[in-house]
Chain A
Amino acid sequence: MKKLISILATILLAFEFSTAQAETPPIVLMKFTNDTRYQKVDVPDVLSDLVIEKLLSSGKFNLVESKPIDRSLQQDLYDERSREIQNAQAEIANGNFNSLFEGSSFNPKLADSISTAQVGQIVSPEITSKIGQDNGAKYLIQGTIVGMGNDTWRDENAEIGNTIGSIIAAALTKDKSLLKGGADNVVQKAMIVECELRIIEASTGKVVYFRSSTCTAGKEIKGKDVTTKDAPDLQSKEFMNLLNFVSDKLSKGLIKDLDEGKIF
């Protein structure tokens, strides 16, 4: 009897799991695009792989492909707009700019580009529906790297400490050695990556979800006399950690919003 109950429980659990999988619409992850000037850095591939790995591990998404789709929606959209302008050449030559200015290029309901697409705007349905059909997906997840960089700065606490607290203390106690006191200066060097995720309904091209994440990673050193020249070096290991951090933040945010019914 106990064995029968156990078997029945296992069957029920498996059924529930498979039902949960089937409820999530079929979806693909497009390879991240890089909107930054750092085009030679191979961040899109790394980020795309990290994000899809985390989404697959969650078991929450019905990802029809286990690898990111290597196709640039951004470039496809740009090319489509170029063709529209091309097709308007004959009218432009006759001084008629209506197809230019009243066409899809200036339609506020249509997204300029992936990186400026707002929720509710449409990204070319011709392009997105083709990708959806080719891959059996109803939704596309598109990531965009919108910012990357690093900076070094110095918090000048020692001078403030010396000027205010230490001088007063030294004057009151007549102890000149206190003038060398005050908090340490801090020099920090940090890397930063900012990414966005959009979910697009393949058949309509409509942006149904948007999420942005900014992550930093860095090192600091402290000391009375430290300057920005003493800033610690940041290695590729730190940068990989930062990418992992970003992908983690994006994925967890996506999963949380899915669980809360904010996406579908």
Chain B
Amino acid sequence: MKFKIVCVLVAGMILIVSSTEAAKVDQYRDALANRNCSIKYEVVTKPVHQTNRMMQVKSSKFLRDIEFEDTTGEKSIEESGIFILNGNERYSELDMKQGQNPCTLVKGEDIYKFYWDIRDGQKRYVGERNAFGHSSSVKAKTIADLYAYDALKEIYNFGSETLVNALFPLLPRDRVIENPSMPKYKFVTSGTLSNGSSYEDFSAQIDSTFFAIRYYFNGDQMVKIATINFTQDNDGNVIDYSRSLIKLEEFSTIPDSKYLELPEGLKDKTKRKEKSK
């Protein structure tokens, strides 16, 4: 009898532990695994020492966007972005607060790279730069056209590095290029803040560097992601840190189809081999 009571108690404890596991992130994890989602985000708190600087130099006749060597020695990050997944279709667009901002549209085997900028107060999409400015057409490349590493980056692509770092605990493991320097996140805890929003925390450790991510929810809707990592010396002093706060304008399981076609004004000039009869 006592043994049965103990078994029931243990089973009950297991149930309680399971119910405190991350639950709200699951729908987002599933959306990424099923490749059906729309993410629109803004990077609110940029990591320390990273700024976006794009130099613009006006020559005598031509307006030039001159991209000097990385001015901080670190990577530039976007101010905001859009990322859409729909099966084997993908779209990403970044706002780097610069002249031309990168866009990628993937439709099956075809990968289109183009840009957006602001001209006369209007957003427009353009192709590669040429002697007369920018082309109004794009030509798709295929995975086979790319070097091996670039091809892998396209296949396992979940947006910019900023977005990937923020979503890392939720990304499907078979679609992420693994390497030992990537943190292995585990769920830590969940809770509710005084303003009524809830959160779920994940953390990881690699050597002397600690990583943590907090996902914020209003109800079941994910609204914000905060990430931090810091490195300590042998005495436990923090010697370096980096953090970012991403505000989610949208994170839904419905792909926004308007982004999954070439934008108006851009023509597809891809030469395709005719199928043999």
Which range holds the interface residue count of chain B? 35 or more
CA distance in complex: A190, B66 (Å)? 10
CA distance in complex: A1, B46 (Å)? 69
Interface residues of A in 215-239 (CB under 8 A from B): 216, 220
Flag if B46 contacts A116 (CB, 8 Å).
yes
Flag if B226 contacts A101 (CB, 8 Å).
yes
Flag if B59 contacts A37 (CB, 8 Å).
no
Flag if A149 contacts B46 (CB, 8 Å).
no
Interface residues of B in 135-157 (CB under 8 A from A): none
Contact with B along A48-70 (1 / 0, CB 8 A): 00000000000000000000000
Contact with A along B44-81 (1 / 0, CB 8 A): 11101101010111011110101011111100000000
Name the CB-closest residue of B to A39: B73
**A92-B210, A112-B46 known; A214-B56 Cβ under 8 A:** yes
B24 within 8 A of A: no
A105 within 8 A of B: yes
B245 neighbours in A (Cβ, 8 Å): 106, 108
B214 within 8 A of A: yes
B6 within 8 A of A: no
Closest-CB distance, A88 to chain B (whole angstroms) = 10
CA distance in complex: A186, B61 (Å)? 10
CA distance in complex: A220, B210 (Å)? 51
Binds B, one of A17-25, A78-86, A197-205, A246-254: A78-86
B181 within 8 A of A: no
**A82-B241, A101-B228, A108-B245 known; A95-B189 Cβ under 8 A:** yes
Contact with A along B235-277 (1 / 0, CB 8 A): 0111101010100000000000000000000000000000000
Flag if B71 contacts A116 (CB, 8 Å).
no
CA distance in complex: A149, B59 (Å)? 16
**A36-B71, A190-B57 known; A106-B243 Cβ under 8 A:** yes
Q: How many residues of A contact B (CB 8 A)?
A: 43
CA distance in complex: A214, B56 (Å)? 9
Flag if A149 contacts B49 (CB, 8 Å).
no
Flag if A35 contacts B49 (CB, 8 Å).
yes
B5 neighbours in A (Cβ, 8 Å): none
Flag if B238 contacts A108 (CB, 8 Å).
no
Flag if B237 contacts A86 (CB, 8 Å).
yes
Closest-CB distance, B94 to chain A (whole angstroms) = 18
User: At the interface, is chain A mostly helix, strand, loop or mixed?
Assistant: mixed
Closest-CB distance, B75 to chain A (whole angstroms) = 12
Name the CB-closest residue of A to B45: A112
Flag if B66 contacts A106 (CB, 8 Å).
no
**A36-B71, A108-B245, A147-B55 known; A95-B188 Cβ under 8 A:** yes
Interface residues of A in 68-109 (CB under 8 A from B): 78, 81-83, 85-86, 89, 92, 95-98, 100-102, 105-106, 108
CA distance in complex: A140, B45 (Å)? 23
Out of B55, B61, B191, which one reaches A149, CB within 8 Å? Answer: B55
CA distance in complex: A147, B51 (Å)? 10
A97 neighbours in B (Cβ, 8 Å): 188-189, 201, 203, 212, 214
B193 within 8 A of A: yes
**A95-B189, A97-B214, A190-B57 known; A78-B226 Cβ under 8 A:** no
Flag if A89 contacts B236 (CB, 8 Å).
yes
CA distance in complex: A153, B238 (Å)? 44
B131 neighbours in A (Cβ, 8 Å): 156, 160
Can you list 10 pairs linking A and B with CB atoms under 8 Å apart? A37-B71, A82-B230, A82-B241, A97-B201, A108-B44, A146-B53, A148-B68, A151-B55, A155-B61, A188-B59
Binding site for B on A (CB under 8 A): 35-37, 78, 81-83, 85-86, 89, 92, 95-98, 100-102, 105-106, 108, 112-113, 115-116, 146-151, 153, 155-156, 160, 186, 188, 190, 192, 194, 214, 216, 220
